Amino acid sequence: MSRAVRPPATSRRRKNARVATALLAAGALALTACSTGGAPAASDGDEQETELTKMLVVTFLPLESFSFTPEMFAYSGGYFEKHGLDVQLQPVQGTAAAIQALLGGATPITRASTVDVFPAMEQGQELRSIGTMAYKSNLRVASTEDNSITSTADMEGATIGMGSLGGTSEKMLDLALGADGVPLDSVTRQAVPVTGATMEVVRQGQLDGYIVSLDTSLAIAQQNDDAVVDRAGLTDAPDIQTWITTADNLEDPELVEDLEAFLAAIDEAVQDVIDDAPNDFENVLQTLRESGDWSFPALEDDQVAVEALKIYTTETWVNEAADVRLLENDLEAWQTTYDTYVDAGLLQGGKDPQEWITNDYVPGD
């Protein structure tokens, strides 16, 4: 789904809530009339409805991916409303656009990978990480059996496709190649549509492989007998996806309250997804499907959906070392990631990355 602003579900729920409230009020009125001999009702139905705070949240890609399960489930499951928010999710094209939307004041919060946000932070942008969404990258390389790519060494001399040049995928590729001593310029990069259809181009030999998201990789593996989908060293490079806001926003008490409510809603939604794992995520998938808010192939495919959510709930949203709780920033991993980027030449270095991070707004136990 790629609608610009997403009011329908909230509106629908509100409408339903209003109808239910009106019916209850009518029922109560009838009962009151019976019991009091027709005395007027004391309360108005609308007054019982809690006023929600509107919040526009920018996402770095359209939401049709299990990568955005936290946002989608918090939205359709009513978690945002429970925490007093009327959230509108606004996709933009790429992390850079999301960061610019945040800096320009169009959104109070977005999420971005450290590989994208560290350069801006190092250049003095007052960005603050207030929570971690993903503790590692989930990128995969799709190739064919005839010319499989399962390591960075396989990429030497190859043409590798990616969604956008200079974006997160390319930066992670550079990090992985650099870490393994593979010359960066030995790999030709090509912007391609990161869909299953591009496998045909790989078969034709125009591409040796291409970098895809977890959902797409699972779908490709399922749909193509000759497909090889591998991490190919890309997930070895550190990458943390964090919720970011600006230092200015954190000085506004009202906005801080909203940000805390947002993180609390996400936290609760993610925990419920994790708790639904023994049930093969049946409740989560049912909520997402029946809400009518989302429509993408992976959501309708039980096998892909369950497989993707398993990986997100066991490897991505939780810290494998289990020494930090959901959404909590891992300060040590943050520092290590910064140092790795500096060593790789991605950053100049000499800054204290701990200044850009805080756990003050993550929901407490």
Whether 111 and 69 have beta carbons less than 8 Å apart is answered as: no
Q: Please state the closest distance from residue 116 (CB atom) to another protein, in A.
A: 8
Q: 140-144 and 209-212 as β-strands: parallel, antiparallel, unpaired? A: antiparallel
Q: Please, which residue, 35 or 204, has the CB nearer to another protein? A: 204
Of the candidate residues 21, 32, 147, 164, the single one contacting another protein (CB under 8 A):
164
Mark 113-142 with x for binding to another protein (rule: CB under 8 A) and - for no binding: ---x--xx----x-----------------
Q: Please state the closest distance from residue 279 (CB atom) to another protein, in A.
A: 37
Please report whether residue 56 would count as binding another protein according to CB under 8 A: no
Report how far Cα 26 is from the mean position of its chain's Cα atoms: 42
350: left (phi over 0), alpha (psi -120 to 50) or beta: left
Start-to-end C-alpha separation, the chain:
34
Distance CA 223, CA 337 (A): 35
Instruction: Supply 182's token pair.
Output: 């593979």
Question: Does residue 86 sit in helix, strand or coil?
Answer: strand
What phi and psi values does residue 110 have, to the nearest 5 degrees? Answer: -155, 175
Q: Please state the closest distance from residue 190 (CB atom) to another protein, in A.
A: 5
Q: Please, which residue, 193 or 292, has the CB nearer to another protein? A: 193
Q: Please state the closest distance from residue 350 (CB atom) to another protein, in A.
A: 19
Stretch 192-211 residues interacting with another protein (CB under 8 A)? 192-193, 195, 197-198, 200-201, 206-207
Please report whether residue 37 would count as binding another protein according to CB under 8 A: no
Instruction: Supply 143's token pair.
Output: 């190739």
Distance CA 138, CA 344 (A): 20
Please report whether residue 166 would count as binding another protein according to CB under 8 A: yes
Q: Which amino acid is at 273?
A: V
Whether 220 and 142 have beta carbons less than 8 Å apart is answered as: yes
Please report whether residue 223 would count as binding another protein according to CB under 8 A: no
Q: Which stretch binds another protein (CB under 8 A): 47-55, 92-100, 140-148, 280-288?
A: 92-100
Please report whether residue 38 would count as binding another protein according to CB under 8 A: no
- Binding-site ranges for another protein (CB under 8 A): 94-97, 99-100, 103-104, 116, 119-120, 125, 164-167, 170, 188-193, 195, 197-198, 200-201, 206-207
